[in-house]
Amino acid sequence: MKHLSLLSRMIISNVWLLTDEAGRRYLVDTGHPLERLALQASLWRRGVRGKGDLTAVLLTHRHSDHAGNAAWLRKTFDAPIACHQADADVLTGRMKRSNLARGVAHLYEELLCHIEDRFPAETAVDELYEDGSWKWGLRMMHVPGHTEGSVLLHHEATQTLFTGDAILTGLAPLRALEVMRLAVPGFSLDVDQCHAAVRAVLKSLPATQVVASGHGPAVTANAEAKLRRL
């Protein structure tokens, strides 16, 4: 896929580099701060080396494995950070974040939730998504429940759907095995709300040839049929 690249050596979560027909480059999600050096090296290999090389950083949601490097990217590349208003309020400190660790998840999930609660992502936010058609050929669909502002982003020109953790295509940290599923309860604030919102969106989803999620491989074969089965 010439328009889409999965940044290599990023193990915790996926970071996608999208190039549009005008040559503009966008980073969809940012990875965890622990993998910042791997992120920097991967961007360098793809020619993203200085200010102006990124048009924007597009966040699917506020969790630290997806937004943890946003503030650094904003400063290093002078790239505006975009996300949903509900997550922007938490990322900027305007609203108190809800704890993920609630004693209802599996033991290893609960441990990761405690880490998320202790070391959350923080960043300024420059752009807020608007519902429906937005800018740069992107369509935003709010699917709250994984976080307050979790979203699906659809790039119309390339028929690519970025799903964050609202729709997963694999079992983290594996990328060789494709397993498409909805948001995981242990890491979601209200998983039933998220599932219902995603299913509502899928009923009228624009043409989609590629699904790029927060964990797992890119789905390029029969993407729409697989989404309908959800």
pLDDT in tens, 185-226: 999 999 999 999 999 999 999 999 999 999 999 999 999 999
For residues 130 and 140, is the Cβ–Cβ distance under 8 A? yes
User: Could you give the number of structural domains in the chain?
Assistant: 1
Residues 149-160 have pLDDT tens digits of: 999 999 999 999
Q: What does the radius of gyration of the chain's CA atoms come to, in whole angstroms? A: 16
Of 138, 151, 150, the closest CA to residue 206 belongs to 138
Question: Among all chains, which residue has been given the structure tokens 């799903």?
Answer: 163
User: Binning pLDDT at 50, 70 and 90, where does residue 173 land?
Assistant: confident
129: three-class secondary structure by DSSP: coil
Residue 1 has pLDDT above 90, yes or no: no
Say which CATH number the domain at 47 has: 3.60.15.10
Cis peptide before 173 (omega within 30 of 0): yes
* Segments forming the whole domain that contains residue 118: 4-228
Instruction: Quote the CA–CA distance of 206 and 209 in Å, as a whole number.
Output: 10
Number of H-type helices and E-type strands within the chain: 7, 13
Instruction: Quote the CA–CA distance of 29 and 77 in Å, as a whole number.
Output: 15
For position 174, what pLDDT does the model report?
A: 80
Which of the residue ranges 36-50, 53-67, 77-91, 164-178 would you say has the lowest mean pLDDT?
164-178
User: Binning pLDDT at 50, 70 and 90, where does residue 9 land?
Assistant: confident
Residue 2 has pLDDT above 90, yes or no: no
Instruction: Quote the CA–CA distance of 139 and 154 in Å, as a whole number.
Output: 5
Residue 46 has pLDDT above 90, yes or no: yes
- 64 Cα distance to chain centroid: 11
User: Binning pLDDT at 50, 70 and 90, where does residue 176 land?
Assistant: confident
pLDDT > 70 fraction of the chain, expressed in percent and rounded: 100
Of 94, 189, 105, the closest CA to residue 143 belongs to 189
